[in-house]
């Protein structure tokens, strides 16, 4: 019965997509003069609400402003990530989508259209009707997409590829006439709370390993049994290291029973990704299945053990791998992260004490 419902749901979705594209997919009517690039207005569609996506694309706004300080950069963001974009000094305008539905997208598109953006960039590989409505009614002269050759709405396109997502953003900008970019991620300077600072001074002044047990999808979540196995093995291999368990509000109570001795610590006041970034800043190693933590650790140049789902580990999907892959050990699973035998994960030798300047 569930399979039947899924088929019906998929069938109806395909009909909606077909009708939406038939009605909405039109070529841009405005013209753009490349000679005016230096004073153009560029709008990035980033309403997916994914923190990892925010981190990996953070470089592009910085690099645009380096080359053309007078380009105006706007962002369409979900409510979940608006605070992240607000901290970026290179972003000039921020538009929030209150909910992911067609009417709110149409309303915000009409509002943005009054700002006369020249260029829209949306590198999402699968577009829903609400996305097409948003881009259509912003009414930019140039719409840059990813693998959208079948849509007339996009008059510039990045071909489908298996390269890192940062290369797609760089390619989109080079289409417009910008030069090659420094693709290393950017982090704004975020003031931390006194409570978090006190925790770091009290518990993380010595060498420590940070481990995160959860990703956004269910297949990325280590079971309680696996969590215990991880802590047991880390304690055995690194008897002189503190083990920091990363958390977020929804799972903090679930993780508390793991704090069975003073060697295992957790900052129970963790509220945002910025708290987690501060917590892993000086970690000797970061272990995580979650891409936002992985990319944050990569930006901080921390050694990483990361986990990704792939049906073909010999030729994995590389879009969301950490930038400094040479500083990361990556393990793949086919359906669920709990398939991984923790005993087979190679743990590197960690030498020396904590270097707070690293």
Q: Look up the CATH number of the domain holding residue 245.
A: 3.40.50.2000
pLDDT tens for residues 13-41?
A: 766 766 667 677 899 989 989 999 999 99
Please calculate the CA angle 298-219-328 and round it to the nearest 5 degrees: 20
Give the C-alpha separation, 204 to 181, whole Å. Answer: 35
Q: What are phi and psi of 316, to 5 degrees?
A: -75, 165
Across residues 249-275, what is the average pLDDT?
95
The whole-chain average pLDDT of the chain stands at 90
Pairing label, strands 242-245, 264-265: parallel
* 242, 315 Cβ separation under 8 angstroms: no
- Asked if the model's pLDDT at residue 10 lies above 80, the reply is no
Same domain? For 93 and 159 the reply is: yes
Asked which of 129, 146, 176 is the last residue of a domain, the reply is 176
Give the C-alpha separation, 11 to 20, whole Å. Answer: 14
Locus of tokens 């400094």: 324
Q: What does the pLDDT read at residue 22?
A: 62
Please state, as a whole number, how many other Cβ atoms lie within 10 Å of the Cβ of residue 5. 9
Q: What does the pLDDT read at residue 50?
A: 83
Whether 5 is in a domain gets the answer: no
Global confidence as pTM? 0.89
Task: Give the count of alpha carbons within 13 A of 250, CB side only.
Answer: 5
Across residues 81-86, what is the average pLDDT?
88
Helices and strands, counts by H and E, the chain: 11, 12
Give burial (CB, 10 Å; 0-12/13-18/19+) of 326: exposed
Across residues 124-147, what is the average pLDDT?
94
Asked which of 148, 176, 204 is the last residue of a domain, the reply is 176
Q: Which among 174, 164, 139 is positioned nearest to 24, based on CA atoms?
A: 139
Q: What does the pLDDT read at residue 193?
A: 93
Same domain? For 235 and 286 the reply is: yes
Give the C-alpha separation, 312 to 309, whole Å. Answer: 9
Q: Which among 304, 302, 332 is positioned nearest to 318, based on CA atoms?
A: 332
Residues across the chain: 358
- Asked if the model's pLDDT at residue 194 lies above 80, the reply is yes
Whether 122 is in a domain gets the answer: yes
301: left (phi over 0), alpha (psi -120 to 50) or beta: left
Same domain? For 131 and 52 the reply is: yes
Helices 129-138 and 102-113 pack at an angle, to 10 degrees, of: 10
Across residues 284-291, what is the average pLDDT?
96
Per-residue pLDDT band at 353 (split at 50, 70, 90): low
Percent of the chain with pLDDT over 70: 92
Task: Give one DSSP letter per residue of 179-200, joined into a string.
Answer: ------------PPPHHHHHHH
Q: Which domain holds residue 321?
A: 194-344
Give the C-alpha separation, 310 to 237, whole Å. Answer: 28
Same domain? For 236 and 141 the reply is: no
Total domains present in the chain: 2
Q: Which residue has the higher pLDDT, 100 or 164?
A: 164
Rg over alpha carbons for the chain, rounded to the nearest Å, is: 22
Whether 15 is in a domain gets the answer: no
Asked which of 149, 176, 203 is the last residue of a domain, the reply is 176
Per-residue pLDDT band at 357 (split at 50, 70, 90): very low
Whether 129 is in a domain gets the answer: yes
Same domain? For 140 and 198 the reply is: no
Q: Which among 60, 118, 119, 121 is positioned nearest to 91, based on CA atoms?
A: 60
Helix (H, G, I), strand (E, B) or coil at 262: coil
Same domain? For 199 and 334 the reply is: yes
pLDDT tens for residues 50-78?
A: 888 889 999 999 999 999 999 999 999 99
Please state, as a whole number, how many other Cβ atoms lie within 10 Å of the Cβ of residue 328. 18
116: left (phi over 0), alpha (psi -120 to 50) or beta: left
Across residues 92-97, what is the average pLDDT?
96
Locus of tokens 């970034």: 277
Percent of the chain with pLDDT over 90: 72
Q: What does the pLDDT read at residue 91?
A: 97
- Asked if the model's pLDDT at residue 358 lies above 50, the reply is no
């Amino acid at each position: 019965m569930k399979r039947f419902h899924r088929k019906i749901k998929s069938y109806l979705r395909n009909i909606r997509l077909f009708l939406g594209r038939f009605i909405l997919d039109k070529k841009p009517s405005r013209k753009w003069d490349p000679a005016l690039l230096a004073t153009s207005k560029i709008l990035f569609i980033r309403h997916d609400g994914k923190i990892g996506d925010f981190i990996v694309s953070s470089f592009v706004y910085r690099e645009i402003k380096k080359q053309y300080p007078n380009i105006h950069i706007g962002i369409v963001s979900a409510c979940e990530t608006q605070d992240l974009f607000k901290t970026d000094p290179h972003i000039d305008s921020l538009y929030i989508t209150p909910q992911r539905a067609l009417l709110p997208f149409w309303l915000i598109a009409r509002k943005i259209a009054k700002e006369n953006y020249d260029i829209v960039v949306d590198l999402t590989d699968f577009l829903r009707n609400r996305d097409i409505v948003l881009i259509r009614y912003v009414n930019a002269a140039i719409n840059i997409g990813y693998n959208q050759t079948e849509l007339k709405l996009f008059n510039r396109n990045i071909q489908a590829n298996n390269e890192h997502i940062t290369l797609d953003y760089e390619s989109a900008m080079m289409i417009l006439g910008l030069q090659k970019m420094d693709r290393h991620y950017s982090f704004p300077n975020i003031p931390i709370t006194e409570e978090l600072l006190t925790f770091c001074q009290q518990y993380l002044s010595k060498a420590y390993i940070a481990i995160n047990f959860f990703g956004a999808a269910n297949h990325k979540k280590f079971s309680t049994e696996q969590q215990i196995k991880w802590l047991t093995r880390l304690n055995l291999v690194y008897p002189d290291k503190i083990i920091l368990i990363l958390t977020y509000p929804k799972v903090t109570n679930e993780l508390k029973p793991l704090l069975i001795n003073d060697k295992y610590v957790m900052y129970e006041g963790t509220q945002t990704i910025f708290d987690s970034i501060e917590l892993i800043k000086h970690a000797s190693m970061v272990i995580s299945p979650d891409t936002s933590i992985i990319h944050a650790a990569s930006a901080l140049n921390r050694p990483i053990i990361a986990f990704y789902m792939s049906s073909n580990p010999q030729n994995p999907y590389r879009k969301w791998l950490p930038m400094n892959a040479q500083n990361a050990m990556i393990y793949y699973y086919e359906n669920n992260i709990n398939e991984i035998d923790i005993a087979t994960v190679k743990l590197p030798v960690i030498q020396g004490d904590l270097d707070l300047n690293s």
